[in-house]
Amino acid sequence: MVTAIGEMRANQRAKGHASILAIGTATPESCFHQADFPDYYFRVTKSEHMTDLKQKFTRICDRSTVKKRYMIFTEEFLRENPMFCSHNVPSLNARQDTLMDYIPKLAAKAASKAIMEWGQPKSMITHVIVCTVIASEMPGVDVKLIKLLGLNPSVKRIMLYHQGCFAGGTVLRIAKDLLAASRHVLQEYGNMSSACVLFILDEMRRRSKEDRMLTTGEGLEWGVLFGFGPGLTVETVVLRSCPIV
């Protein structure tokens, strides 16, 4: 039985190695410095009278090691949509609608950068795998992304919703079957859950070039990526760096 299951899983996986040919990242335009965030949060929620909670929240922000965060909810947007700042007004549907409108646009921005770096025509793209840890709808983000990028409607699509923090590793594994950087990313962008994987890989590649190392893996040839959660779930991906010419 164990042998049969092993053979079945082996048949579902692609042979050989997969390569990351390009990386594109994108963030919302609104940047918030963590040191200023407590004042901003308690101001927009009209909670400045809760001084004890504000002091506690300030301590949490100071000790988080995060320097900056990027958000789509600007102060102007929140003034126009006060239900987002109220603890008693139902706003889940409005939040989901806002996110589902914005997520495909942000994904298209990052994908366009990767396609430009790749340097090949879009017609060569055969599969699109999309992952988001927030919001869900049908037709999904994958359909909207294909339209925004102008890809062929026949492109094969895989959509992953609500996979949690480990989903970045899951996406890389699925792509394979089909076909100090960490700290810096946390400080500059905050905890982006599964999206951190791509930002960290891009940061490692950038630093390796700046420091004139031999490979994109900070001079090393091999690396292992672990994605933890939910529960005892662990996704493991073995990565091989590329020589820097």
Looking at 31, 61, 131, 165, which residue is catalytic? 165
**61 noted as active-site residue:** no
As a whole number of angstroms, the distance between CA 37 and CA 45 comes to 12
Type of residue at 92: L
What residues pair up with 217 in beta bridges, in sequence order?
A: 220
* Tokens standing for residue 226: 């672990």
As a whole number of angstroms, the distance between CA 212 and CA 216 comes to 10
Q: Left (φ > 0), alpha (ψ -120 to 50) or beta: where does 65 sit?
A: left
Catalytic residues: 165
